[in-house]
Amino acid sequence: MRSFVSQLSIHKLEVFCMVAELKSISRAAERLNIAQPVVSAHLKSLADKLGVSLTERSGRRIALTEEGERVYQWAHDVVIRTNELEREIADTQRGLAGKAKVGASMTLGSYVLPSIIASIRQRYPQGEISVQVTTPILATDAVLQGECDFAFTILDPRHEIAGLEVQRVRDEQLILVASNNSGPKKKSVSLEELAELPFVTAQLRTPRREIEEHLLMEFGVSRNQIVMEFGHAEAIKQAVRAGAGVAFLFQSSVNDELASGLLRRLDTSGMELRVPVYLVRRKNKKLAKFQSMMLDEITQALSN
């Protein structure tokens, strides 16, 4: 008799995994662009083949049973590995030497990686490299889900990294900048003066904001004036250029503006803020040759 595994379709496993992750049949149906009765039918078919109950109601949400949790861990791995294999085979059929999908947090992906990737691309013209620039949490999720082969990102200190391999590859320095036409006229500010400056910064409860606040607290600095909040470093930078206030920005994101004189750096009395950047990989993921080569090249460039 054939085992139940040979009778299961990848699509049924994908549907089950989506329900498990979203904890909702309706949301899973919307995400997968299929009807709710179809989702329910797939769940019932999977449960019938396995001979166990996989889900149960928990208020208005769907929760996994103990058996459902075990099946989810297995199904999640099968779906990810299948999607990765299909993508790699498709790349081979397209005549590519290989393809690497890289995740990156916003500043790194916007200001650091482009020149590195462009340089590498010139040496490997038959390969394809794509970079997904997003938030740190979404970057690590993309690695876990197999949407990215690896990622380079900052991490929230509270970030859950179960199932991931994390390696520190460099530090990014946060520096205080102001418009050349406004802000403090002197070249340096004391820690006491710093607390009273009008700040433009990242949005509250984002990893970028949490990291910045944590580093400042290590020096006993609590800012009294947050005048604007934005979700991307470029928006923060433009607001500072317009004279809205001062900001701590990664040096790599303002090198051009400092060189052209659009922004100026303010010394912070010996206070140095450094943010670690990490290489994030999924545990036990086997990289293809091209992906492994890209990982090594990018890591080496970031480490220099």
Please report the pLDDT score of residue 236 as a whole number: 95
Per-residue pLDDT averaged across 221-225, rounded? 92
Name the class of domain 4-90. mainly alpha
- Domains of the chain, by residue range, sit at 4-90, 95-170+277-303, 172-275
Per-residue pLDDT averaged across 235-247, rounded? 94
Task: For the beta carbon of residue 63, count every other beta carbon within 10 angstroms.
Answer: 13
- In this predicted structure, the answer to whether residue 127 has a pLDDT above a threshold of 70 is yes
- In this predicted structure, the answer to whether residue 225 has a pLDDT above a threshold of 70 is yes
- In this predicted structure, the answer to whether residue 91 has a pLDDT above a threshold of 50 is yes
Q: 174 has which bridge partners?
A: 250, 273
Residue pair 35/26 in contact by the 8 Å Cβ criterion = no
Residue pair 281/165 in contact by the 8 Å Cβ criterion = yes
Tokens 């006993």 identify what position?
Answer: 220
Q: Which two tokens stand for residue 53?
A: 């109950």
Please report the pLDDT score of residue 7 as a whole number: 59
Confidence of residue 257 (pLDDT cuts 50, 70, 90): very high
Which CATH number is 95-170+277-303's, of 3.90.79.10, 3.90.1280.10, 3.40.50.720, 3.40.190.10?
A: 3.40.190.10
pTM (two decimals): 0.72
> Pick the residue with more confidence: 168 or 290?
168
CA distance 56 to 37: 17
Per-residue pLDDT averaged across 161-185, rounded? 89
Confidence of residue 88 (pLDDT cuts 50, 70, 90): low
Identical fold at 95-170+277-303 and 172-275? yes
Please report the pLDDT score of residue 77 as a whole number: 82
Confidence of residue 1 (pLDDT cuts 50, 70, 90): very low
Q: Which two tokens stand for residue 233?
A: 């470093």
Q: What is the DSSP string of 171-194?
A: EEEEEEEEETTSS-SSSB--HHHH
| Residue 284 Rama label (left phi>0; alpha psi -120 to 50; beta) | left
DSSP 3-state assignment of 264?
strand
**pLDDT tens column, 29-76:** 888 889 989 989 989 988 888 888 888 888 788 889 999 899 988 888
Q: Which two tokens stand for residue 160?
A: 């859950």
Please report the pLDDT score of residue 93 as a whole number: 59
CATH superfamily of this structure's domain 172-275: Periplasmic binding protein-like II (3.40.190.10)
